[in-house]
Structures are given as C-alpha cells and as structure tokens.
Structure 1
C-alpha cells in the first residue's frame, strides 16, 4: 500500500505536464517529420504565399497598378519593371506610367525615362543628365511624348534630348495607371517574394519557435525539456506499476 500514493502523485504530474506541452510537442513532431521529408515533397525552395511573406515583413505589394500598351501590361513593384509577368528591368520608384509615341515604348521610372522597342527590349535610359526635366506624369500630345512638370506641360524629344513648352490647352493624354487583372497581379506578387522566404524557412522557424520571437524559442525549449521529464515520469510509473 505504501507505493500506491507516490505512484498516484507521479501519474497526476505526468498527466498535467502532458496537457501543458501537448500543442508545442505536436508542432515539434509535425514540423520535424515535414522537415525530414521536405526534399521529397519538393517544398525546400518553394516560395511562401505572398500573405505569409508579408507577415515576415517582405515588401510584397497588395495593390498593383499598371498601364496596358498594345495588349501588354507594364507595371512596377520593388524597383522592378514587369512586362506582363516578366521581371524585365530596374525601375526606380515612383512608377510614372508608360506611353507609346511612334514606335517606342517609354516608361517613367522616378525621374528617368526608360526607352524600349516594341519587343520590350531596352534601348536607352535617360534622366536629368540628358536634359529630362523633373516630371510627375508622362503622356502624349499630338502623338508625341509629353511630360507634366512643376512649370506645366512640356514636349520632350527623346531623339534630340530637348524639351519645349506646349499650350496648356493642347490635347494632353496622360498615362493613367489602372488596377492589373487579378491573375497577372497574383503572378507578379508571387515573383516579389524573396527566395529566402520559402517553406523550409517557415517550417524551421515553427520547429524552433522563432515565429513568436524569443518567447517562442523559450516555449519550444521548455516543451523539449518537459518531454524529457515526461519520459522519466512515464518510466517511473511503469516501473512502480510492475511491483
């Protein structure tokens, strides 16, 4: 009879410790199994969904706008110009839009103009050093490139790199940005996720508790310690029950 009371105490402690660490131990177990087979699943280098990437602090855009020219969309995010779903060129923010005078496609990237041919290949990049005035919008007037500057509208000749004022009453056609089609926007967002933010990184952070910061790491450390204690108490209970 003298052994029953201590055994009951061991069982009580064993039960409550098991309940306390059930969730952390479950996370440790599941993430451990997934990490052990992550290459077989093909997840090791698969990028995280944009929503999870934003939770990590990655600058993945929510709203994307662009300009369609000749059936092709031009948009910018994270200092990159996308032509359709293709990450094409460096493009400084803010994105001023795109227009197509003559046989050129001209994209406004910050204070620069990026000149492309109709195939989307870069021809030249010109900025203030080439005489481009500071501008907030670009568009066309009478089929020629026009820029909206603090002093009004100017027509800019990309061949001779000269600008001239135009009549404010001229037929100004600005390059207005509009929301991208949802399918294209989702493809661009997916490409905006940094390669380092993949499923392996998430599983490792879950396994170590890093998703909750230092407190999460302590929680997982405590769970591992409690699991060791449970192994000891379980062994003691088993040994006492056999007497």
Structure 2
C-alpha cells in the first residue's frame, strides 16, 4: 500500500519534469536552430573551399579590413592617367596586381608600346596588357641607385647617384649623359579622394579573403574572445538540447510500452 502511494506521488514529478523539458527544449531549440543552420552552412563551405574558391575572393569591406587591423599603405602614387598605381612595394595596372618589388619603386610610365617601371636597381618592361616582357638589373647594365625616370621619343633616361644615363629600346648600352636643360622627370599624378580610397582598399584586401572570414565566423573568432565564448555556449546548448531530446524520447518510448 505504501509503495503504491509513493508511485502515485512520484508520477506527477516525472510528468512535470517532462512537460518543463519539452517547453524549454522547444524554446531553446528555436534559438539554437539559427546557429545550427549557420554552422552547417559555414562548415559545408569550409569543406569545399577549393571548389568555391574562397581563398581567392578578397574582402573589400572597409569595416572588416579595419576590424582585422590591416594597415593602409604608407606610399600611394598614381601614374599614366592613374591607370598605374603604386602601393608600397606593389604595382597595380587598372585594378589588377602587376608585380611585387623587393626594392623601393622609383617611378613608372608608358613608353612607346610598353610600360616601364624602375626600382632603385632594376627596370621592368611590361606590354600594355600587363604581360612581363623583360626584367633588367645591374648584370644587364642597368645603373644602380636610380632615383628618377624620364622618356624621350627614342630613349629612356634615369637619374642615379653617379649622374644621368640613357638607353634605347634595345637596352644593351647605358650611356652617361649631361644636359644643360632640366630633365622633365616623371612625377606622380594627382588623384581624387575616391581613387586613393580604392587604391588603399586594393592593397588591404590582399591580406584578407573570404575563406578567413567564413572560418573565423564559424569559430566565433571574428568577434574576438567574446565570439569564441559565445560559440562555446552555443555548442554546450546544442549538447543539452540533444541530451534533453534523448531523455524525452526515452521517457516517451517507455510510456508507450
């Protein structure tokens, strides 16, 4: 008789427990569903990063670039009607990266049917489509310590620590020259604020791609330690939902027997 009364009293406790579990399971499940969908989608994207070319999609959002602390270039210059752009040691042609120099870039410009770019110790020759024609250094006769560039119709002239030198389109012979008239050295063009902003964004975007954003969003690191802890909380929540769901299912299965 006593055992019967204990069973009668115990039954409402389990009934209330199951009812409360179902209620919280449903509410928390709706909240967690959004994160579960996001984690699933971002996880699938990361598993197929090569097929989706995530690593080759640069981020151009100023907010994200600033959020990651990516610094703007110190040197931004425009040449040849602003089609050629220098950002630190990088040269861009019409928004596409042309090349990266290990020396300081001195000047550049369009000469005959090509683009000529000079660094302190090298000369690069590109066609108008941006394909490299030739790369010349001191072993090819290029003077050292170049500080200026100028063109005539037939010659390229450079200013160096040893004086002025010129060469023709064959680039075989660099001759020291002197002149009484001032040489019109190629100088950077003026650029609008929007053009400067675009150049800075081009430079910064190469250090951040979509794969990094998806990976950091998946782990929560995009928002620092707070984001990581929040995603940990979501993971714990999903575990609790799974356990409570299993418990409800087991109780329901036993009740049906």
Fold shared by both chains (TM-score > 0.5): yes
- Change over 3 Å in CA distance of 1:231–1:85 after alignment to 2: closer
Matches within 5 A, 1:32-181: 32-33=40-41, 35-36=43-44, 44-46=52-54, 47-51=57-61, 52=64, 55-56=67-68, 65-68=77-80, 73-77=83-87, 79-101=89-111, 105-117=115-127, 120-129=130-139, 130-140=141-151, 144-150=155-161, 154-157=164-167, 158-167=171-180, 169-179=181-191
Superimposed CA distance per residue, residues 16-71 of structure 1 (whole angstroms, 9 cap, x where no aligned partner): xx78xx58x7444324245447899x9932414223356456678698543116xx
- TM-score w.r.t. the length of structure 2 is 0.58
Structure 1 residues 183, 80: closer, same or farther in 2, change over 3 A?
closer
Q: Hey, which of these two has a bigger chunk of helix by percent?
A: 2
CA 1:229–1:128 in structure 2 vs 1: closer, same or farther (change >3 Å)?
same
Q: RMSD of the TM alignment (CA)? A: 5.1
Greater RCO, CA 8 A, separation 6+:
1
Q: 1:225 aligns with which of 203, 224, 236?
A: 236
Over 3 Å counting, the alpha-carbon distance change for 1:55 and 1:177 in structure 2 is farther
Q: Which has the higher Rg, Structure 1 or Structure 2? A: 2
Aligned-partner Cα distance in 2 for 1:170–1:190: 35
Give me the whole-angstrom Cα distance separating, in 2, the residues matched to 1:154 and 1:64.
26
Q: Structure 2 regions of 5+ residues with no counterpart?
A: 1-8
Q: Which of the two has greater strand per residue?
A: 1
Q: How many angstroms apart in 2 are the aligned matches of 1:28 and 1:204?
A: 15
State whether residues 72 and 204 of structure 2, in contact with CA within 8 Å, keep that contact through their aligned partners in structure 1: no
Who is 2:38 aligned against?
A: 30
Q: Which runs of 5+ in 1 are unaligned?
A: none
TM-score, L = length of structure 1 = 0.61
Specify the SS of the correspondent of 2:125. strand
